[in-house]
């Protein structure tokens, strides 16, 4: 089994260490994995070392926030030379902006009527790699845990059994903190084309992550993105509906590009997303998917297909 999109504690919203992630992969029968932390490559070395101990091939990776046509996207880099200075600069750029952005997010959360304090936020970020950076998921966790908001009508949809209750924290982020939402605070992300160049310059392959999550209602824009020089698309994702998967599969094939699969596992932030969760089993044959993915990523994987 393969999962090419998982997050460790080096992502602001990740829960497990790289070693714990690889151990979980081994338990679930995953033989090839990629730790793709947000704008950070600090888990690559630990992940590779843990992979050797658990017989899991761990591909060095990263997930970079970027922008194209004023829309925020995530770009995956696989097989990168993670020791390159480019990735240090990417991390420092995002980190320097995120501290002030977190404080502004707190102010906007209060304007919604939720009495959230800095101490509240520190209580959920104390085990994070960067304790002074708060995500929309963290705000969701704090607010949904507060007893005084247990029956708040705005929060009913995120409770167990609610229509947004499967992944309450990340759904809270999408509804209130993502681009265009009331608590969103803009960060100056680098351009997608520049990040494609960075990944290529560092010997990697550039793949557009979960386009269904970022192009909601604008899926037709994928055609223009495919012409920017990316190598592939994360067609099979826990985010995508069957219809979206069909569309991205056909578009990617038509463009002659590769495709990948990934769960986007984070841990408690997305409890409904499990490691290895990549597709609708009733529609797609997992073995066929993984053979196609392996052929595309052969330069990164470094294994013969017969050994996978």
Q: Is 70 exceeded by the pLDDT of residue 32?
A: yes
- Among 38-42, 140-144, 185-189, 217-221, name the one with the lowest average pLDDT: 217-221
Q: Is 60 exceeded by the pLDDT of residue 272?
A: yes
As a whole number, mean pLDDT of residues 19-24 equals 96
As a whole number, mean pLDDT of residues 33-61 equals 94
**Which residues have CB under 8 Å from 245's CB, separation 6+?**
235, 236, 237, 279, 280, 283, 284
The pLDDT of residue 159: 96
DSSP H or E stretch at residue 121: helix 118-125
The pLDDT of residue 305: 42
The pLDDT of residue 304: 40
Give the whole-angstrom CA distance, residue 76 versus residue 230. 10
Give 28's DSSP letter.
Answer: T
Please give the structure tokens belonging to residue 135: 């995500």
Digit-coded pLDDT (tens) for 90-102: 999 999 999 999 9
The pLDDT of residue 218: 85
Percent of the chain at pLDDT exceeding 70? 97
Q: Is 90 exceeded by the pLDDT of residue 243?
A: no
* In contact, 109 and 139? CB cutoff 8 Å: yes
Taking all residues of the chain, what is their mean pLDDT, rounded to a whole number? 91
**Which residues have CB under 8 Å from 281's CB, separation 6+?**
none
Instruction: Label residue 236 by pLDDT band (50, 70, 90).
Output: very high
Digit-coded pLDDT (tens) for 173-219: 999 999 899 999 999 999 999 999 999 999 999 999 999 888 888 88
Q: Is 90 exceeded by the pLDDT of residue 164?
A: yes
Nearest to 133 by CA among 175, 94, 174, 190: 94
């Amino acid at each position: 089994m393969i999962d090419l999109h998982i997050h460790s504690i080096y992502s602001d919203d990740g829960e497990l260490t790289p070693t714990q992630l690889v151990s979980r992969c081994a338990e679930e029968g995953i033989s090839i994995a990629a730790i793709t932390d947000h704008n950070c490559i600090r888990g690559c070395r630990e992940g590779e070392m843990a992979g050797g101990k658990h017989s899991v091939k761990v591909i060095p990776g990263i997930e970079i926030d970027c922008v194209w046509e004023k829309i925020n996207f995530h770009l995956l880099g696989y097989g990168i030379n993670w020791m390159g200075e480019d990735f240090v600069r990417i991390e420092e750029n995002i980190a320097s902006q995120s501290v002030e952005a977190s404080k502004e997010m707190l102010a906007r959360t209060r304007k919604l009527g939720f009495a959230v304090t800095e101490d509240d936020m520190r209580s959920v970020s104390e085990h994070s790699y960067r304790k002074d950076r708060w995500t929309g998921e963290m705000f969701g966790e704090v607010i949904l845990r507060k007893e005084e908001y247990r029956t708040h009508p705005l929060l009913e949809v995120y409770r167990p059994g609610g229509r947004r209750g499967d992944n309450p924290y990340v759904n809270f982020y999408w509804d209130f903190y993502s681009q265009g939402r009331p608590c969103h605070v803009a960060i100056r992300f680098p351009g997608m084309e520049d990040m494609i160049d960075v990944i290529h310059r560092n010997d990697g392959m550039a793949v557009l992550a979960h386009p269904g999550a970022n192009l909601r209602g604008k899926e037709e824009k994928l055609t223009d993105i495919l012409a920017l020089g990316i190598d592939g698309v994360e067609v099979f994702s826990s985010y995508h509906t069957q219809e979206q998967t069909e569309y991205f599969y056909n578009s990617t094939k038509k463009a002659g590009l590769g495709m990948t699969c990934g769960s986007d596992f984070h841990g408690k932030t997305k409890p409904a997303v499990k490691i290895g969760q990549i597709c609708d089993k009733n529609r797609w044959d997992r073995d066929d998917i993984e053979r196609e993915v392996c052929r595309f990523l052969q330069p990164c994987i470094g294994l013969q297909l017969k050994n996978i």
